[in-house]
Amino acid sequence: MFLKRYLKDCLSLFKIILPHRKGAAILMYHSVADNDVFFTVKPKIFAQQMAYLKKRNYQALKLSELIDFLESKTRIPKKAFVLTFDDGYEDNYFNAWPIFKKYNFPATIFLAAGLAGGKINNVSNIPLKALNWQEIEEMHWSGLIDFEPHTVSHQRFERLNLNQIEQEIIISKKMIEERLNKKCHFFAYPRGWYNEKIIGILKKQGFRAARTTETGKINKGDNPFKLKRISVNSTMSFIQFRAMIQ
């Protein structure tokens, strides 16, 4: 039993780590809670992961800081990572934010702006509560959490025409900017689906970068509109987490 688990861990380690050893990790989370959705990380595990990063002196960068490094001649610090959360689940407020405050870790939440205050469904078909605007405002004004658009309705881009996609991008950006009195510069493609035309729309709308769902780390010379990420979900063991961040 133990051997089987060990071999399975080794195999996933190779899959996650080998092609992506070097660079800064953009960690992609969704929900931090005790639910059974595939992408969810249990609060205890999340606390353990964050404590590890703090203890080992990893440097939490804002997404904007990482993009500054990509766009400048300065090299990306060695132990840098970026925290991102997709969709905007209410459990981020209750289970993740207190830990960000404790360690002073900045994070970006990519918000499905039109679903705030309601529920968001997922592949496991277990709808989860979304952040409401009061919680979003409180986190934003703390200065630690940056809210960026992840469309209005969280529909798959491959099912929409280009005009609808453009509206999803423009309206979600505007909703966040008006509500939080800020400018949005970053986008996360729903389920990672994008093409060159969508990148064109983002550039036209003043975005600086966008995060995909391709696995990998960030290095100098990477295309800021094709940012890779490391997905942290219910399947990642602590051994895998430690190996991945190194």
In the list 25, 53, 87, 217, the residue contacting Zn ion (rule: CB under 5 A) is 87
Query: 226 with 212: CB under 8 angstroms?
Result: yes
Distance (Å, rounded) from C-alpha 211 to C-alpha 188? 5
Distance (Å, rounded) from C-alpha 80 to C-alpha 64? 13
148 binds Zn ion (CB under 5 A): no
Binding-site size for Zn ion (CB under 5 A) equals 2
What is the smallest separation between the CB atom of 92 and Zn ion, expressed in angstroms?
13
Which element (helix H / strand E) includes 215? strand 209-215
Distance (Å, rounded) from C-alpha 213 to C-alpha 87? 13
If the CB atoms of residues 76 and 131 are measured against Zn ion, the closer one turns out to be 131
What is the smallest separation between the CB atom of 43 and Zn ion, expressed in angstroms?
20
What is the smallest separation between the CB atom of 245 and Zn ion, expressed in angstroms?
23
Distance (Å, rounded) from C-alpha 83 to C-alpha 29? 8
Kindly report the length of the chain: 246
If the CB atoms of residues 76 and 229 are measured against Zn ion, the closer one turns out to be 229
Q: At 82, list the tokens.
A: 């970026």
Q: At 186, list the tokens.
A: 């970053």
If the CB atoms of residues 150 and 185 are measured against Zn ion, the closer one turns out to be 150
**Residues from 194 through 233 that contact Zn ion (CB under 5 A):** none
In the list 24, 86, 130, 202, the residue contacting Zn ion (rule: CB under 5 A) is 86
Stretch that binds Zn ion, among 52-60, 87-95, 97-105, 219-227 (CB under 5 A): 87-95
Q: Which residue is nearest to Zn ion (CB)?
A: 86
Phi, psi of 124 (to 5 degrees): -80, 0
Binding site for Zn ion (CB under 5 A): 86-87
